[in-house]
Amino acid sequence: MGMAKDDELSWGRSTVETSCPLDCPDNCSLAVSVEKGRVVKIDASPRNAFTDGYICAKVRNFADRVYGDDRLLYPAVRTGPKGKGQFKRVSWDEALAQIAAQMLTVKRRSGAEAVLPFCYGGSNGLLTQDTNDAELFRRFGASRLARTVCAAPSGAAFLAMYGKMGSVAYEDYPDATLIVLWGANPSASSIHLVPHVREAQKRGAKLVVVDPRRTVLARHADLHIALRPGTDLVVALAIHRHLFEQGLADTAFLDAHTTGAARLREKAAPWTFENAAAIARVDPKDLERFATLYAESSPAVVRCGWGLERNRNGGHASLAVLALPAVGGKFGVRGGGYSMSTSASWGLKPSTWVETPEPPTRTINMNHLGQVLLEQRDPGIELLFVYNCNPVATMPDQNAVVKGLLREDLFTVVFDQVRTDTAMYADVILPATTFLEHYEITKSYGAYAIQLGQPAIEPVGESRSNMEVFSDLLARLDLGREEPEHDTETLMRVFDKLPDPIRNQLIDKGLATPAFGPRPIQFVDLFPQTADGKIHLFPENLPTIAPGGLYAYQPDPATERYPLALISPASEKTVSSTLGELRQRPASLYMHIEDAVERGLKDGDPVRIYNDLGEVHCLLITGDAVARGTVSLAKGLWRRSTLNHSTSNALSPSTLSDLGGGACFNDARVEVARLLKAAFEAQDVAFFVKPGSVATDRGSVH
């Protein structure tokens, strides 16, 4: 432990052991080589066996971000009109004094709830999210934020059904005879799962992929259910129906370990293969094959991803998919059951180390950012403090978000590592350190590892860590801190509150595994963490906004004008919008060749994707990478990656999912037309297309 000494940092070459905090299930252990104080190489380290000697290209090239043109080096304040990106450098003292003064002014004028902290923290470990920041905004009495942009529907479903029961470990996938990847694309989102899937296939396992796209693994699957986005619920219910009606449900298991099986059966009853297939736009015979395969196979594992949750039926779909191993009797063997997020199974709660309890202030759903900024509320939002998040790129209804950020009477702070699309609208910009420059405790949500992250280099420019900046503001606002805290102090405070086995393992090895070990078996080592220890197949008290109650299907939002379902899946080039600044090529929309022909479009065309919320101009790739009726544009694009500086979120509604107030990105329904030549030329194409490189994303399913 401990970073390289100063003299080493400036002269020698040293290697620092750390871990990746980015929002990915894998939590890789890293060896960072440093020469003359600069990062020269990032690679896998052996500390986390799960990393298995390799890491993704994104993190291998992370130094391009650390030292890139978009890196924020100094605090700055706005000098030109909002959104124009004109700033002047100021000192930290000036910037923080201005923020503290504004916070107090707003509080006096309209009350503390007129301040809204805006963060998600997916790419943050235990130190840079929910430590001093939470203390600050709670003590100040700011509005609270419901952090629902991801995992809210699936999380609500999972917690209600299983409590915090852990998952099947990826390393146990080779024991399965059937693997179902349901709305998950590990080739982009969790690359260390892929070799285990391939190993299982080598040993004879069958692979089923449920995904509107022909992902790499879908191409290698025994069965690909290329369903219409948002229809997973009825597909899963059709399998339940088959299991119940054909006497294939494990009634002994259901009687002993579950509640609500009869009600689930009732809800599944109408969903014959034909009914479900008509809605999902697939062949009913494929659904029958799927159901039969699932019934017959053991060990069978379902990797429940997040692709299925980002729509109006997302929570119910997660319930129905997660209920499959219970009804099918798949638990109790290695390689059998489900994998979801493992993060809850650690039982670590920030409330253990954050002293101040949450105040009873109002809670604002982050998916509603645009309308919250634009609507009259009592009080309205007058100060927005953005950190660990890039809402212009990642929240639904981008045009409303941007319009809100343009409000003259809004004071916006953006605290980030790079000059994000959101930072362009800031009144004050604060530069943040990256994980290569501060301490962190990182957590995996796929594998079972918690690791110590430590700095490899000094902060770049004048950047500072979240721990330091939020404690500085606590001191300035007289909220119980005498002076700013160094991240090692935050580290020690959190360390002290960690349960012993985790704490000691982190100190000894820099890596901790849970008490039940890294490869637990469901219903041998892991049991439901619900109040009565049972699986709640029909969690009566779980609130749903769907008319018709739990497991009710809400129809497709497509209209005659906007028939195409636009999805925006994870790309191997970015993590959400992180690293999006490094994208070299203009983004492309994927469309099925027959949909293109119908519209008189051809491969390479510049196109306009539009609906009533907005429009996106980009290039077109045609082929069979997406199902008919679905189009796909990568998640996490920066605005500069499209021809008109709008991304898929300009087309995503800010409606909420059935459970958990989740985002409905994939409920975007659109039409696509050729971008007229005149309009195309009017765009500032040279802005991003380097001469001689009108290459597109072709060759990779983004």
Ligand X SMILES: Nc1nc2c(c(=O)[nH]1)N[C@H]1C(S)=C(S)[C@@H](COP(=O)(O)OP(=O)(O)OC[C@H]3O[C@@H](n4cnc5c(=O)[nH]c(N)nc54)[C@H](O)[C@@H]3O)O[C@H]1N2
Query: Which residues contact ligand X by CB under 6 A?
Result: 23-24, 120, 122-124, 128, 149-150, 182-185, 188-190, 210-213, 215, 229-230, 232, 305-308, 310-311, 387-390, 393-394, 415-418, 420, 432, 466, 567-572, 574-578, 635-636, 648-649, 652, 665-666
150 belongs to the binding site for Mo ion (CB under 5 A): yes
Task: Give least dist CB 65 to ligand X, A.
Answer: 8
Residue 582: which region, alpha, beta or left (left: phi > 0; alpha: psi -120 to 50)? alpha
Minimum CB separation of residue 254 from ligand X in Å reads 25
Residues 6+ apart with CB under 8 A from 686: none
**Residue 429: strand pairing partners:** 76, 414
The residue among 329 and 636 lying less far from ligand X, judged by its C-beta, is: 636
Nearest Cα to Cα of residue 428 among 114, 72, 116, 111: 72
Q: How far is the CB of 585 from ligand X (least distance, A)?
A: 16
Taking the complex as a whole, how short is the minimal distance between the CB of residue 187 and ligand X, in angstroms? 9
| 217/521 with CB nearer ligand X | 217
Distance between CA atoms of 480 and 484, rounded to whole angstroms? 11
Q: How far is CA 373 from CA 15, 162, 311, 391, in A?
A: 46, 37, 23, 12
Contacts of 451 (CB under 8 A, 6+ apart): 18, 19, 27, 29, 47, 48, 441, 442, 506, 510, 511, 512
Pick 308 or 333: Cβ nearer ligand X: 308
If contact means CB under 5 to 8 A according to the sort of partner, which of Mo ion, ligand X, none does residue 388 touch?
ligand X
The option from ligand X, Mo ion, none interacting with 212 (CB < 5 to 8 A, set by class) reads ligand X
CA distance 688 to 701: 21
Q: Does 308 sit near Mo ion (CB under 5 A)?
A: no
Alpha-carbon distance of 463 to 294, in angstroms, equals 52
| Distance of closest approach, residue 486 Cβ to ligand X, in angstroms | 15
CB of 677 to ligand X, least distance (A): 28
Identity of the residue, 83 or 121, whose beta carbon is nearer to Mo ion in the bound complex? 121
H or E stretch including 79? none
Query: Could you give the 3-state DSSP secondary structure of residue 631?
Result: strand
* Closer to ligand X by Cβ: residue 9 or 22: 22
For ligand X, the closer CB: 72 or 537:
72
Q: Do residues 616 and 632 touch, judged by C-beta distance below 8 A?
A: no
Helix, coil or strand: residue 600:
coil
* Cβ closest to ligand X, residue 102 vs residue 632: 632
Structure tokens at 404: 């809100």
Taken in order 21, 23, 27, 32, the sign of the CA dihedral is: negative
**What's the min distance (Å) between Cβ of 310 and Mo ion?**
9
* Residue (521 or 650) nearer to ligand X, CB: 650
Q: How far is residue 177's CA from residue 135's CA, in Å, rounded to a whole number?
A: 48
What is the nearest approach in angstroms of Mo ion to the Cβ of residue 122? 5
From Mo ion, ligand X, none, interface partner of 45 (C-beta below 5 to 8 A by class): none
| Site track for Mo ion across 512-551, x = CB under 5 A | ----------------------------------------
Q: For residue 355, give Cα distances in angstroms to 40, 358, 494, 607.
A: 40, 10, 11, 53
Check if the beta carbon of residue 187 is closer than 8 Å to that of residue 216.
yes
**Which residues, 6+ apart, have CB-to-CB distance to 178 below 8 Å?**
205, 206, 207, 208, 293, 294, 297, 298, 299, 300, 301
Residue facing ligand X at closest CB distance: 307
Nearer residue to Mo ion within complex by CB, 343 or 530: 343
Beta strands in 25-135 (DSSP E): 29-35, 38-44, 76-78, 87-89, 115-118
Could you tell me the two tokens for 652? 């995503």
CB of 537 to Mo ion, least distance (A): 26
Query: To 10 degrees, the CA torsion angle through 280, 286, 292, 295?
Result: -40
- Nearer to Mo ion (CB atom), residue 635 or residue 645: 635
Residue 184 binding partner per list ligand X, Mo ion, none, with a CB distance cut-off of 5 to 8 Å that depends on partner kind? ligand X
Cα 200 from Cα 174, distance rounded (Å): 4
Residue 513 partner contact from Mo ion, ligand X, none using kind-dependent CB cut-offs of 5 to 8 Å: none
- Give whichever of 505 and 568 is closer to Mo ion, judged by the CB atom: 568
Query: Which token pair is 210?
Result: 């449920």
The residue (of 471 and 530) whose beta carbon lies closer to ligand X is: 471
Q: Which amino acid, one-letter code, is at 184?
A: A
Q: Which C-beta is closer to Mo ion: that of 459 or that of 636?
A: 636
Q: Kindly state the smallest distance separating residue 648's Cβ from Mo ion, in Å.
A: 15
Least Cβ distance, residue 502 to ligand X (angstroms): 22
Q: How far is the CB of 268 from ligand X (least distance, A)?
A: 18
> Which of the choices Mo ion, ligand X, none does residue 544 contact, using the CB cut-off of 5 to 8 A by kind?
none
Report what 393 binds from ligand X, Mo ion, none; CB cut-off 5-8 Å by kind.
ligand X
Give the interface segment with Mo ion, choosing from 133-141, 148-156, 226-234, 557-565 (CB under 5 A). 148-156
**Contact of residue 652 among ligand X, Mo ion, none (CB under 5-8 Å per partner type):** ligand X
x/- map, 108-147, Mo ion, by CB under 5 A: ----------------------------------------
Binding partner of residue 52 among ligand X, Mo ion, none, CB under 5 to 8 Å per kind? none
How far apart are the C-alpha atoms of 665 and 186, rounded to whole Å? 20
Strand partners, 41: 33
**How many of the chain's residues bind Mo ion (CB under 5 A)?**
1
* Among ligand X, Mo ion, none, residue 474 binds (CB under 5-8 Å by kind): none
Tell me the closest approach of the beta carbon of residue 368 to Mo ion, in angstroms. 18
Q: Which range, of 150-158, 474-482, 490-498, 528-536, touches Mo ion by CB under 5 A?
A: 150-158
SS3 225: strand
The DSSP code for 381 is P
**Residues that bind Mo ion in the complex, under the rule CB under 5 A:** 150
